[in-house]
Amino acid sequence: MLALVDCDAFFCNCERLFREDLRQRPVIVLSNNDGCAISRTREAKALGIEMGAPYFQIRELCERHKVAVFSSNFSLYTNISARITTTLRRLVPNIEVYSVDEAFLDLTGIPNVESFGRMIKAIIQQHIGMPVSVGIGPTKGLCKAACFLAKQDLSQGGVVSLEEREKQDQVLATMPVEKIWGIAKGRGLKLWMSGIKTAKEFRDYKNDQHIQAILTKVGRQIQDELRGIVSFPLQAGAEKKKEIMSSRTFGHGVFDKHVLMQSIATHASEVAQELRQQESVCTGVSIFIRSNPFSESTEQYARSASWKFQTPTNNTFKIIKAALRALEMIYVYGVEYQKSGVSVFNLQDEDEHALGLFEHCDSLRERVLMDTMDRINLREGDRILVSMSCGVDNREWRMRRNFKSPRYTTSWEELPKCL
DNA sequence: TCTGGGGTCCTAGGACCC
DNA sequence: TCTGGGGTCCTAGGACCC
């Protein structure tokens, strides 16, 4: 049996830990640049504040109802998260940290899992001060469904166990397909079109081949999870990341190439640092720049370029250099996004013909030198994505799909006009 | 001018998660 | 004026090889 421990409105409740007076008040936490709401308490939700709502649209509402509004403080959240993980590990040896506010626990050998779940909840509340919901079930998918009910129906006391088949039937029957873990709008719509509306109908749908056809292998795996067949086993022990990204929205237009260069270099060095921490090497970098997708008045701009290493490296200097060269490629060739075979160039490792990039930027040079000092030899491995966003980026990653292919731009001088 | 078929590897793009 | 920042997996189709 597995359990999912999921913090309630995690970022908000981290802020509340230091503010006793906010216990009953609605709280929200804003994204980078205070752009939009990324966490909200139950009270804030009751006021009609949606996840991802742009702050300028809800500011008045917040002021009127005395909502406590915080800028995000990720180092705090990471720290609290680590404390919770430590506490959980003392209770259960085999756990998988799924995200900053969630962990799966292996409850094998524990006799009364439901009362154990209640104990976990009480301990986290007592030791950390964080309210959590606990969902118990034979698979991750059923744990997720249990948690869904625990959060939705307060009379459950924040802990729901789906050990028994009857209880599974009961919960899944009331659960719309698009609320299933791994099924969202897109897949949910496909299921609706096949006449499948609830999680229970999905679980009991007999034609596996049809599910395979409309939702691919992933859909079948999700279906099995609901049937109690494990498709996604617990992965204890930290896996290495396959892609490391660093990106930031500027919150204002950017008109200076050197600002972009600085930013790219900073992202690249952060990525390189993380890369070395997990003892991997980089096989290539790619950068991405785009203008504000919400702006209707201006012409949109989106470009990306990548650089492949002939020899994978963990050398920060080379990674920064490759990222800057990719930027230079965008500058020189105006490489268009969403074309197959997007600008992949092979970096000659010892090629010092660096297009004179570093002359522009003394602090960059310093950073590069500093980072080059602490190289270490590590194993061959993973791919790196250095991503850059310029102007104001989209709220949700998947919205990029809706982005129309931009006008081809050949020169850097045209870029500012687009921002 | 005619012009096979099978296998593998790679990657862009789609869909989803927190 | 102002809309986050990370990740994962799968598939189709192209490139390439024999």
Shared domain check, A349 and A311: yes
pLDDT at A121 over 90: yes
| Cα–Cα distance, A62 to A47 (Å, whole number) | 9
Confidence of residue A310 (pLDDT cuts 50, 70, 90): low
Whether residue A221 is contained in a domain is answered as yes
Tell me which residue of A268, A288, A138, A286 sits closest to A203, measured CA to CA.
A138
The pairing of strands A302-313 and A344-347 is parallel
pLDDT at A127 over 90: yes
A303 forms bridges with which residues in the sheet? A289
Any idea which of A287-296, A311-320, A396-405 has the lowest mean pLDDT? A396-405
Whole-angstrom CA distances from A290 to A243, A389, A405 are 20, 6, 11
pLDDT at A409 over 90: no
C1' (C18) to CA (A327) span, angstroms: 39
The CATH number of the domain holding residue A23 is: 3.40.1170.60
Whole-angstrom CA distances from A182 to A138, A144, A226 are 17, 10, 11
Ranges of beta strands (E only) in A123-182 are 132-137, 159-161
pLDDT at A31 over 60: yes
Shared domain check, A345 and A378: yes
Q: Is the CB of A246 less than 7 A from some atom of nucleic acid strand C?
A: yes
The CATH number of the domain holding residue A264 is: 3.30.1490.100
Shared domain check, A200 and A269: no
The nucleotide whose C1' lies nearest the CA of A98 is B18
Give me the mean pLDDT over the A184-207 stretch: 95
pTM of the entire predicted model: 0.85
Shared domain check, A361 and A323: yes
Shared domain check, A101 and A47: no
Domain containing A16 equals 8-73
Whether residue A275 is contained in a domain is answered as yes
The CATH number of the domain holding residue A164 is: 3.30.70.270
pLDDT value for A335: 47
C1' (C3) to CA (A305) span, angstroms: 25
pLDDT value for A337: 39
Q: Is the CB of A188 less than 7 A from some atom of nucleic acid strand B?
A: yes
Whether residue A115 is contained in a domain is answered as yes
Whether residue A234 is contained in a domain is answered as no
C1' (B13) to CA (A341) span, angstroms: 12
Any idea which of A177-191, A224-238, A266-280 has the lowest mean pLDDT? A266-280
A153 against A281, higher pLDDT: A153
Handedness of CA A29, A247, A417, A252 (dihedral sign): positive
A385: left (phi over 0), alpha (psi -120 to 50) or beta: beta
Shared domain check, A164 and A81: yes
C1' (C12) to CA (A383) span, angstroms: 22
Give residue numbers, 371 to 390 of A, with CB < 7 Å from strand C.
Answer: 385, 387, 389
Handedness of CA A247, A251, A253, A259 (dihedral sign): negative
Each residue of A233-274: pLDDT tens digit? 999 887 777 778 888 887 766 666 777 788 888 888 888 888
pLDDT value for A99: 94
> What phi, psi does A307 have (nearest 5°)?
-135, 125
Q: How many separate domains does chain A show?
A: 3
Instruction: State the helix-helix crossing angle for A362-373 and A316-333, rounded to 10 degrees.
Output: 140
Q: What residue is closest to B11 (Cα–C1')? A: A341
Shared domain check, A180 and A257: no
Q: Is the CB of A252 less than 7 A from some atom of nucleic acid strand C?
A: yes
Shared domain check, A289 and A203: no
Q: Is the CB of A181 less than 7 A from some atom of nucleic acid strand B?
A: yes
Collapsed DSSP state (helix, strand, coil) of residue A1: coil
Q: Kindly state the DSSP code that residue A258 receives in the 8-state scheme.
A: H
Q: Mark the nucleotides of strand B covered by protein, meaning any atom under 7 Å from a CB.
A: 11-18
The nucleotide whose C1' lies nearest the CA of A338 is B12
A322 against A303, higher pLDDT: A322
Shared domain check, A130 and A64: no
Shared domain check, A195 and A250: no
Above pLDDT 70, what percent of chain A? 74
Shared domain check, A152 and A134: yes
Shared domain check, A171 and A36: no
A280 against A247, higher pLDDT: A247
pLDDT at A145 over 80: yes
